Chains A and B, each alone.
Chain A
């Protein structure tokens, strides 16, 4: 499935929910289903410091694709980062850099995108793109 097909799928999943409560419940569930985070990766280097909840993001690069592992101490935030991992993990740097993540707006999470919001969604996306850029230039050099 391409990134964009996956975005459409997520939008469809969220469309079945009547109210915010169900959307949050779904996000919380996705947060719970995120694979356990490797404790050795829980280091300051991989911490994206938001004001209110902490997010860890660990990248690895194999066979031209980036794998992201992630975690957060807040459940809703973990659900949000799980969505990002679902869309962007296992992709090439070019795919990650060339994608407009419009699903966030369409599933009612746009308010979380504002830079004044403190959950760090914007910071997470930025960090994922920075890793993509770094791996891309590293691949091009070798």
Chain B
């Protein structure tokens, strides 16, 4: 199934792709850090501020009603995008990190105690490590880590053996931000559920590469960020099963999350508002919904197919360079290539690529334990989006070859 638009038309939707840096055309391959925004998102937010700005859920006046309706429509768009069963199970947060912290705190308060165990994987972003460590410190509980192979595949047998009567929650990433591995989250969930243990899936790097169906995955929580899915930053999603969310205490108090407040006692509002204290980033939510509509319009499977083709080109091209080592060669991965060549420091290579107009990420990618696993101080990551072109991939390969020669 092809994309609904030509690549030229798609690139025209993203004004920033036409700029130059250091006098060279921008080759943006840092989509894993943040994605660029199409005009459809920029214009939606611009129009919102010009014509429909008022606080949500608070006024009886026309503008407030209008924007509240659009905010709730955005929630419905997110629900449909991840195929969540119910609209009120979609909670707007600031980003993935905020969503995980909310669950770690709120779920932890209710369900985790001394001596209990939490399972994460060895390929987590710091955002899915540190909140759980903080919970463990608060509660005197223990963190267990699923190991993975050199190729970047989780050891499911080790995982199965790790589950115990004390396991309270499993938190794993859908897709590794460094290795690109797509983890078998459905299997991981099924295994945990056999023991009645809920699972949080970090979808920050998963939700933008094709179709995601949380009902099919069966996870209890799924979290992601707007800015990594072609939407604005400062908006994120926490999907949670209502049954669990209803049992969890709110983690922030304030306006909109309450039903009734007296100085003696406050009763909380129902889902999703119980977890949305204070004025939310409604502009961001509506902007993110525009981004999700854009992706749906392009065809999400077609987006994934195009990215796979570009990934194959990048992997093949980079592999022709002497001394190339690619980190993450799992059979099922998204369009992310992490690599090092020879003894070259990632920082040097990143500096030289930058001068060529090529934006990649260098360093530990907020996954220091993963780097330690491979015994490296960091690497270079090219993360590809559907709007990238074959010529850009060629520029990357040539740039890396040139940098390798300069630094050899």
Closest-by-CB residue of A relative to B350 is A52
Interface string of A37-73 (1 = CB under 8 A from B): 0000000000000011110000000000000000001
A119 on the interface (CB 8 Å rule)? Answer: yes
Q: Are A119 and B347 in contact (CB under 8 A)?
A: yes
Question: How many of A's residues come within 8 Å of B, CB to CB?
Answer: 16
Q: A24-B355, A74-B348, A119-B347 are in contact. Are A52 and B362 (CB under 8 A)?
A: yes
B378 on the interface (CB 8 Å rule)? Answer: yes
Interface string of B1-35 (1 = CB under 8 A from A): 00000000000000000000010000000000000
Across the interface, which residues of A come within 8 angstroms of B345, CB to CB? 53, 73-75, 77
A28 on the interface (CB 8 Å rule)? Answer: yes
Q: A25-B406, A28-B406, A51-B363 are in contact. Are A77 and B347 (CB under 8 A)?
A: yes
Interface string of B367-398 (1 = CB under 8 A from A): 00000000001100000000000000000000
Interface string of A101-121 (1 = CB under 8 A from B): 000000000000000001100
Q: A52-B378, A73-B377 are in contact. Are A20 and B346 (CB under 8 A)?
A: no
A21 on the interface (CB 8 Å rule)? Answer: yes
A132 on the interface (CB 8 Å rule)? Answer: no
Interface residues on B, range: 10 to 19
Q: A52-B362, A52-B363 are in contact. Are A75 and B348 (CB under 8 A)?
A: yes
Most A Cβ at <10 Å: residue of B348, B355, B362: B348
Q: Are A53 and B347 in contact (CB under 8 A)?
A: yes
Q: Are B346 and A75 in contact (CB under 8 A)?
A: no
- Interface residues in chain A, defined as those with a beta carbon under 8 Å from any beta carbon in chain B: 20-21, 24-25, 28, 51-54, 73-77, 118-119
> 19 A-B Cβ contacts within 8 A?
A21-B406, A24-B351, A24-B355, A25-B406, A52-B347, A52-B378, A53-B347, A54-B377, A73-B345, A75-B344, A75-B345, A75-B348, A76-B347, A76-B352, A77-B345, A77-B348, A118-B347, A118-B363, A119-B347
